[in-house]
Chain A
Amino acid sequence: MRTSPQLGKHAYGLLGLQLVLACLPHVLNLPWPLLLVAGVLIGTGFWRWKQAYNALPVAQTRLVILVVVLATILLAWLGSFPLEDVAVAILIIVTCLKWLESRQLRDAMLASQLNFFVLLTQFLYDQPFWLGVYVTLCAVFTLRNWLILAHPGAGRMLPGRYIGRLLLYGLPMVVALFVLFPRLEHPIWQISTAAQTAQSGVSDTLSPGSLSEVVQSAAIAFRAEFSGPRPPQSSLYWRGLTLWDFDGQSWRQNAFRRQYQRPPIESSGQRTDYTITLEQGNHRWLYLLQTGLNVQLRERGWFSVDDEFLLFAPPDGRIRYQATSGPRPMERLDNLTRQLALALPYGNPRATALGAQWAARYAAPEARIQAALQMFAGKPFAYTLRPGKLGDDPVDEFLFQSQKGFCEHYASSFVFLMRAAGVPARVVVGYLGGEYNTVGNYYIIRQADAHAWAEVWLDGKGWTRVDPTAAVAPERVERGIEQVLPADSGLAIQNTRSAGWLREFGWIADNLVNQWNRWVLSYDRQRQKQLLEQLGLDGDTKTMVRVMVSVLSGIILAGMTLLLWPRKRHLSPEQRLYEQYCNTLARKGLTRARHEGPADLAARAGAALPEHQAQIARITQLYLRLRYQTTVADRQADLQQFEAAVRSFRP
């Protein structure tokens, strides 16, 4: 048996580098003790590399390895790490160990192969777009190193075109496997970090300070795409939940009302169709414009009587839905609802008194609303992220003392005043506005766009939206939050929505991410099934496996055929004519062997077709002359004669 060639120092270093790159994103996922173990091993490897790497006694390395492995076992035993983390760490450690003991090329090739698996583990945790790009680049790098190992003669100068071609060959397989490999309804191994690290977002409770915390984040809440013309930014009130119950501090959903399903409604007004991709789905409601009339989505849910769309269970991750909105038809307010919309808790005496005063002074509810809005506009109310702490009677304190607040303060106190003044009112939480991505033609709605406003009941009009924030800071509605607050507010959004080419670039990048989410990540079992059914096939797993196997075999066959197909070289005219003559002979059962020379063929053909002997001899003589004689007096004339001879050859 031949021994494999020794591994060079350069190649050894590259193996380490690719391993480090493959492990790097795990810094976000793995617990630090496991990371430390991997770090020690990688460090040892590079220490060995830095020393004259071949001369180093193996005993020292072995000691390090022994200690590290024991440490890992101890760690896994003592620390209660999630099983999947330990499994990933073990794979990393195994790859490190293979790298450490690599002395021959074949060891190194195995280490390279293991590296692909390490890369794969990244996707067990999360599959964002950037990670896809990163892992692809790492995989190409690993492939390159592997090819260098596989072609020791080529040295470090392996042509990029070769790697590119190999990747290109693999592409159809990747696509076929992606589209057709049966996806599981529920992943066997689910590392659902999304549910654990619940990102801040609009919640079903509104208390002073809760929204001003949310708007600190520039994270994307959802993306909205309109199928028709896009409505202006100021009309984009994305309704999430209606909050009815006020305990003096916080607004909450009414547990009773949310249970009831709204009967289907017919709307006669103008409809708006749009598609929303909701990011972090750790809540149980959707965001809709105006009154949601119809929603199409995979998850199960219902329209509550307050026109919220509620889900049965919080979704696993991102969800996507198509919605139609329009104006609500006229309705009546029943007594129970009226009582709920007028209910006030104990406390806040001054605000209650003010409401009662308005109720006495103005007969029309519209006038009472105007009074409140005028109060916000006329008095020195400030719109700020840092309103300061409020005590036991937050509405009173805000209205008559601090007069500094964020949208939740305005919405909350406005609804409180309206209820005190006898106008049925409720708080609505959701988002306002958004940033229009002109590259991908959709709105990006971020957490910073979180908003709270009010809805009041007007007889003859129904529930009507009133945004008290607009009275204080009209720019908030018109142009977005980043325009209202001073530049030093420390809002992440103010960096994200900075002007200029950076913003354009951001849009392009976000569009890529959006497409990735839409086409790659949301491609699940359901979509697979749909795809097969669109092709007129059964959507079950058995059919899918069959289709996949046939498509894959087809690709392999096509590839082999392409590779093994005799290359149609560039043939000279005499070669083409000669081929024609050979084909003619072949039809007579005289197939030319590939190694058979023209003269030999002529001898064989002449013997088989004695009546055409002269013709065959003529053709052969002309062909030999044209092809093998370097000085031909009149090539064109010969060629014409040859052509004529071949064309007239009809045995």
Chain B
Amino acid sequence: MNQPTHNTFLQANQQVNGILAILGQHLLGKPEVIRLSLAGLLARGHLLLEDVPGVGKTTLAHALATTLGLHYQRVQFTSDLLPADLIGVSVYLRDTGRFEFHRGPLFSQVLLADEINRASPKTQSALLEAMAERQVTHDGETHTLPDPFFVIATQNPQSQIGTHALPESQLDRFMMRLSIGYPDAQAEKALYLGGANTKATTAHLSATDVFALQQLVDDVQVSEALAAYVLALVAATREPRRFLHGLSPRGGLALIQAGKAWAFLEGRHFVIPEDIQKIFTAVAGHRLMPGSDLDTCAPVMLQLLQEVAIP
């Protein structure tokens, strides 16, 4: 195994902790969400932020992109947004007499897809296809997307009029679904007193650094005991009457991958059950449908975490 030296690991950890501190200045009182979102990105996953307007979804996405030093584009999804508006168009050049592909906003390192559920299913699937394959095929030509490539999508769960809910298969493309929630009183008071850093931050890392960090996350160790625990969790989701469908193996893999990133953020080079418990709701929440009449499966998931013994 490509064992990173202890020093590299420590260094990287300090780096990451620095990033977390800076992000914390932008989004006050939400260290858990920040940590989860960073873990998601380090695990090469896409994020879905689901919350009411004004709690800082865009702030978080923006801060994440800029701090990591990644090229960032924001697209406001509307019902008339076409796939071409994302991917790009072929333009006829009169002087050469040929078509030339003009890249759309998709060709960025971080794509902030605002209100993704407002777009038509056609546009949604174009985006989600790109997310899964990290490449775009246009007019028979394949264009590779930049690496790293992240999509941070936001959606508003409240107003469902005129929206197209993402189907389960496409929700599955997102590694995590996070909701930010209202800040606590203390953080909100600090925010009103101007405690938040509203200035555009500078880049603290580069794409190469992010790439290196992702490598380190990949090298985090997963023992058999931990795999057994994840297996038990996944098996529990598949028990009848708990959820409509259980987690897929892809969901299980996402748990492991996100767990690795969380362990890395915790400064460990092996995953422990607590890591999986921390990321479980974020990773599994949007992949599970409540089996009963409940609107959300959050309580069922918490109960499940309490019931599954650590082997």
Q: Across the interface, do A627 and B274 meet the contact criterion of CB distance under 8 Å?
A: no
- Give the B-binding residues of A (Cβ under 8 A): 569, 593-600, 624-625, 627-631
Q: Across the interface, do B271 and A628 meet the contact criterion of CB distance under 8 Å?
A: yes
Interface residues of B in 273-292 (CB under 8 A from A): 273-274, 277
Provide the residues of chain B in CB contact with A629, threshold 8 Å.
221, 223, 269-270
Q: Across the interface, do B221 and A597 meet the contact criterion of CB distance under 8 Å?
A: no
Cβ-neighbour of A627 out of B1, B225, B277, B306 (below 8 A): B225
B307 contacts partner chain A, Cβ-Cβ < 8 Å:
yes
CA distance in complex: A571, B111 (Å): 48
Cβ-neighbour of A597 out of B1, B270, B272, B306 (below 8 A): B272
Closest Cβ of chain A: how far from B188's Cβ, in Å?
A: 28
B132 contacts partner chain A, Cβ-Cβ < 8 Å:
no
B298 contacts partner chain A, Cβ-Cβ < 8 Å:
no
Provide the residues of chain A in CB contact with B1, threshold 8 Å.
631
Q: Across the interface, do A595 and B225 meet the contact criterion of CB distance under 8 Å?
A: no
Q: Is the interface of A mostly helix, strand, loop or mixed?
A: loop
Cβ-neighbour of A595 out of B221, B269, B309 (below 8 A): B309
Cβ-neighbour of A628 out of B226, B305, B307, B308 (below 8 A): B226
8 smallest A-B Cβ distances: which pairs? A594-B309, A597-B274, A597-B273, A629-B270, A630-B221, A628-B223, A628-B270, A599-B274
Interface residues of B in 201-231 (CB under 8 A from A): 221-223, 225-226
Closest to B266 in A: A599
Closest to B308 in A: A595
Given A597-B273, A598-B274, 14 more contacts at CB 8 Å? A594-B309, A595-B305, A595-B308, A595-B309, A597-B274, A597-B277, A624-B270, A624-B272, A625-B270, A628-B225, A629-B270, A630-B223, A630-B270, A631-B3
Encode B1-32 as 1/0 by CB contact (under 8 A) with A: 10100000000000000000000000000000
Query: Can you list 14 A-B contacts (CB < 8 A)?
Result: A595-B277, A595-B306, A595-B309, A595-B310, A597-B310, A598-B273, A599-B272, A627-B225, A628-B223, A628-B226, A628-B271, A630-B221, A630-B222, A631-B3
- Given the known interface contacts A599-B274, A628-B270, the answer about A593 and B222 at a Cβ–Cβ threshold of 8 Å is no
Closest Cβ of chain B: how far from A602's Cβ, in Å?
A: 10
Provide the residues of chain B in CB contact with A599, threshold 8 Å.
272, 274
Encode B294-311 as 1/0 by CB contact (under 8 A) with A: 000000000001111111
Q: Across the interface, do B310 and A596 meet the contact criterion of CB distance under 8 Å?
A: yes
Provide the residues of chain A in CB contact with B310, threshold 8 Å.
594-597
Closest Cβ of chain A: how far from B239's Cβ, in Å?
A: 15
CA distance in complex: A631, B270 (Å): 9
A598, A625, A628, A630 pick with most chain B CB within 10 angstroms:
A628
Closest Cβ of chain A: how far from B231's Cβ, in Å?
A: 14
Provide the residues of chain A in CB contact with B221, threshold 8 Å.
628-631
Provide the residues of chain B in CB contact with A628, threshold 8 Å.
221, 223, 225-226, 270-272
CA distance in complex: A596, B305 (Å): 9
Closest Cβ of chain A: how far from B306's Cβ, in Å?
A: 5
B221, B269, B274, B307 pick with most chain A CB within 10 angstroms:
B274
Closest to B270 in A: A629
CA distance in complex: A596, B222 (Å): 19
Closest Cβ of chain A: how far from B255's Cβ, in Å?
A: 15
Provide the residues of chain B in CB contact with A596, threshold 8 Å.
310
Closest Cβ of chain B: how far from A607's Cβ, in Å?
A: 16
Cβ-neighbour of B306 out of A569, A593, A600 (below 8 A): A593
Closest Cβ of chain B: how far from A248's Cβ, in Å?
A: 89
Provide the residues of chain A in CB contact with B222, threshold 8 Å.
630
Q: Across the interface, do A595 and B307 meet the contact criterion of CB distance under 8 Å?
A: yes
